[in-house]
Structure 1
């Protein structure tokens, strides 16, 4: 079954997509990235490796950035918004998915590029927000709202501050060029604990 996210790049097209070609494109971009680095990933190199054509590529993706984000998300699980009956456990579940994403070698290779493109290009920022940042923030927001409803925290904390704690305790260890390492469940737990504590802090008067 064709992934519905691919339809965004071909609105108005009535020609059905060949799933074999779609998978060949995805496999090719991953293989090129892991074997030769992201700098070798171009539309030309991808369609050549996939034994397809540029028109076939553009029927699926509007740009290289959209393709990279699609492939990154297709390799990881979605954030689970289920209620685990405590703020720390809810945030721990979010962080387990973040750990999985940041341990993926393909994502480690493309995330710095996508972040850079998000800062310099409006369309890329939209894609980054849609496919990567917003799902994370939504999962954290749901966890915080449930904590308020349970009376676990007295009021809704600053969402960005809590998200910064969660990501700030994982991203440097995963993406720093020197000393990067695989993240573990312990990293997920520690970051969730610290973020839960931060969420309980009363806002300063200043």
Structure 2
């Protein structure tokens, strides 16, 4: 018999994980975080909420921190899609609305639960940076690059500062300001994004549809 294992043996030994169970565990993590915060979250509580054993959980994530980091990545707003609307105003409007929506609802509750812990947890802080800040910087850079190529604006020396103009007001509004309910946040998300749009456009030298955006 050769040293090469049959495909059947290889499949049995490399059995893929159940994606649905992974999603259930990450959803349970979010629910427990929303109820108890990071300090009150335990792997036992997450496993019980998901209806699995703690052994099942630990086969996927080796610690509470690893589980929370996975949940951060899974439930952060998806800003990877970068639609080209044909104008800088349109690109930034979609980005702002996406970011506002990402800081409300389930992902907003997750971020609120983790921000305090991130102040003294480097791994978690890096995960939140990857979820909150890096995608916005990438999207802004892409929108600005297209706008420069179209001749809408002049090249910018520091695109990251423009991303900060998107992130800062959104975080202040939705994560640091007390609101009566998540429902109010969700309803206010698009309006907040649209009110912020003219300021971001002026910062990059663009114009809004009314023609009064940008600096002379």
Deviation, structure 1 residue 165 = 1.1
* Distance 1:83-1:197 versus aligned 2 partners, 3 A rule: same
- Which structure 2 residues correspond to residues 51-200 of structure 1 after superposition, within 5 A? 51-75=51-75, 78-79=78-79, 80-104=81-105, 106-179=106-179, 181-182=184-185, 183-200=188-205
TM-score of the two chains, using structure 1 as the length reference: 0.75
Count of equivalent residues:
187
The alignment partner of 1:84 has SS state of: coil
RMSD: 2.8
Deviation, structure 1 residue 41 = 1.9
Deviation, structure 1 residue 186 = 2.1
The alignment partner of 2:103 has SS state of: helix
The alignment partner of 1:140 has SS state of: helix
* Distance 1:78-1:20 versus aligned 2 partners, 3 A rule: closer
Residues of 2 paired with 1:179 and 1:27: CA distance?
A: 24
Deviation, structure 1 residue 137 = 1.3
2:26–2:74: 8 Å Cα contact kept in structure 1?
A: no
Deviation, structure 1 residue 40 = 3.0
TM-score of the two chains, using structure 2 as the length reference: 0.72
Please say which structure displays the higher CA radius of gyration.
2
- Segments of 5+ residues of structure 2 without an aligned counterpart are 1-12, 207-216
Residues of 1 paired with 2:64 and 2:198: CA distance?
A: 37
Residues of 2 paired with 1:200 and 1:91: CA distance?
A: 13
- Segments of 5+ residues of structure 1 without an aligned counterpart are 1-12, 202-206
Deviation, structure 1 residue 69 = 4.4
